[in-house]
Structure 1
Amino acid sequence: MARKKALIIAINYFGTDHELKGCINDAQNVRNFLVEERGFSPSTHDMVMMSDAPENEGTPFYPTGANILAAIKWLVTWNKPGDSLWLSYSGHGSQVKNDDDDRPSGFDDTICPVDYAENGQLTSEMLHRAIVSPMNPQCRLTILFDCCHSGSACELPYVYRPDAEGNVNMVDTIRRGVGLIKAARELFEGGFDASKVDEAKMLLGGATDFFNGLHHRRNEGDVDEDGLAPENFEEHWETEGKDVWMFSGCADDQTSADTSIAGTPTGAMSYTFIRTLKENPQQSYINVLQNTREELARNYSQIPQLSCGGRYDLDQMLVL
């Protein structure tokens, strides 16, 4: 029989200059949603809740970096085909300088454990290697990250972002950017001509603008027959093909709102994502992304994203 496992992480950073208000409330809301709406068991055998509530300090449920990585290992290993996994994180997200020089932005996205000031942050590459790489490819993992700079927090290779009208049209954007590069190259077919340089610079500049809008530049050679390309991570994560679906609260260069709804502190993304699924439990992945975007846009500037471990059909029903 397929098993459901969940790891729910929330950090309010009590007593610090960076204290948040709604993250532990987010965790409780997620827990209630999974148990009451999606059939998850609240047993500690199947569900682990980590927070920096005072009663957890000194226990494995206190979200230090080491404890988070240990809990992730519990979540993604020792699973059977068909198991359904859930991971959510509410807390601070940040960025640190990329020392390997393999990220076009120059930065890695991070999450901030409760002890980040003493022991450092968990980078996107660390998270991918801990969460995605060890997974059984026949299990499905759903991730919800409600934190700043969360768009590439797990370095999943395929990223989808809705525009202001709710259209998810990354394919067209990439195709146009690649077309500009091809046009620039074709200028020089048959020999170099100095008169063509300015025109080529204009074309390549336009392509760069398109790709920068997607945060990571794409390699022309990686584009498939539909014009879709994976995120250009040095590690070529697109070859792993893991069944991972991550909803993140904002793009890499945005912040995620810690707000109050009906008098209760909460994260805007967590609240809206859960509300969207409660109002209509039977939605496709692309519908959930579009409806969450529409709801957030009424009050917030952040743009949610959906990232996937492979090239999957976004019109299939969301499964938890």
Structure 2
Amino acid sequence: MVLTDEPYNLKYMPTRRNILSALRWLVKDAQPGDCLFFHYSGHGGRIVDSDGRRVDGHRVDGFEKAIHPLDWERAGEIVSEDLYDVMVKPLPAGCCLNALFDSCYSGSVLDLPYIYQPSDHLKQHAANSRALTKYPQAHVVLFASCSDFQGSGGVIIRGGEFLGAMSSAFISSLTTNPTQTYLQVLASVQVILRRTQRQTPQLSSSYPIDSSQQCLF
């Protein structure tokens, strides 16, 4: 399913209601062995966390990350907690979800506990074991276009089409070498983006990633 504001079709416009409905459609009836993919390219933001500064392994910066639907000024943002509850929490054990978020402040938009860098592998994990009880048994992996404190840029590709910089780099990386590991893809897109952008792509997951595990896209 693709939601887009061009061409105009009310049924497939990326409104808050349509995005949440599409997420429910994506995970409905998911079974062990299924591998799902979600891609968001659009505006993102962050809002003050109404629960304050949490210390249970996520949102310790005092902000909740969000994506901005087409009608966000009227209907509201879709915050990270919404995304987790609708798209991540329902997944069964043995199911895989790969998500690509090409938006500002998206580093921890799914509130996943394990954060990676290609140089030192595991960079950060949830603060305590209590936090880990929140996470699903499904294997969820997030590629985010930037950290929680950065904006996310765009590029002009052939034909004058505007595309998010992360989306462009991700496509370029996997087109060049479709058999990379997750950490290799992260390193590759970081190299590509350094040429023109000031953003640092992030990789996070619900469980520790084997450094030799092939990226399943």
User: Could you tell me the TM-score, scaled by structure 1's length?
Assistant: 0.62
Task: Please name the residue that 1:310 is paired with.
Answer: 207
Q: Report the CA distance between 1:312 and its aligned residue.
A: 2.4
2:94 to 138, 157, 164: 138
Q: State the alpha-carbon separation in 1 of the partners of residues 127 and 65 from structure 2.
A: 14
1:104 equivalent among 57, 60, 64? 60
Give the drift of 1:155. Answer: 0.8
Q: Which amino acid aligns with 1:56?
A: N
User: Which secondary structure state, in structure 2, belongs to the residue aligned with residue 145 of structure 1?
Assistant: strand
Alignment of 1:86-97 (within 5 A): 86-97=37-48
RMSD between superposed Cα atoms in Å: 2.0
Distance 2:130 2:2 in 1: 33
SS of equivalent residue, structure 1 residue 87: strand
Asked if the contact 1:157–1:309 (Cα under 8 Å) also holds between the matched residues in 2, the reply is yes
1:244 matches 2:140: yes
Higher fraction of strand: 2
Shift of 1:237: 5.5
**Alignment-derived partner of residue 178 in structure 1:** none
1-side partners of 2:113 and 2:126: how far apart?
5
Alpha-carbon distance between aligned partners in 1 of 2:15 and 2:136, rounded to the nearest angstrom: 28
Q: Does the 8 A contact of 1:64 with 1:114 survive in 2? A: yes
Is there any run of 5+ residues in structure 1 with no aligned partner, and where?
A: 1-47, 172-227
Q: Aligned partners of 1:126, 1:153: CA distance in 2, in Å?
A: 10
Structure number with bigger Rg: 1
Tell me the number of residue pairs that the alignment of Structure 1 and Structure 2 aligns.
Answer: 211
The letter for the 2-side match of 1:85 is L
| Compared CA separation, residues 312 and 123, structure 1 to 2 (3 A) | same
Aligned partners of 1:99 and 1:287: how far apart in 2?
Answer: 37
Aligned to 1:68: 19
Q: Which consecutive unaligned segments of at least 5 residues does structure 2 have?
A: none
Change (3 A) 1:131 1:115: same
Q: Normalising by structure 2, what TM-score?
A: 0.90
Counterpart residue identity of residue 126, structure 2: P
Equivalent residue, structure 1, for 2:110? 154
Q: Which deviates more from structure 2 when the two are superposed, residues 93-102 or residues 239-248? A: 239-248
- CA gap of 1:138–1:275, structure 2 versus 1, over 3 A, is same
Amino acid in structure 1 at the alignment position of 2:8: E
Q: 1:253 to 1:233 in 2, by over 3 A?
A: farther
Q: Structure 1 vs Structure 2: percent identity of aligned residues?
A: 37
The CA distance in 1 between the partners of 2:161 and 2:80, in whole Å, is: 30
The partner residue of 2:4 within 51, 62, 68 is 51
Structure 2 CA distance for partners of 1:237 and 1:275, relative to 1, 3 Å: farther
**Aligned equivalents of 1:144 and 1:232: distance in 2?**
26
| Structure 1 pair 54–239 and aligned structure 2 pair: CA distance change class (3 A) | closer
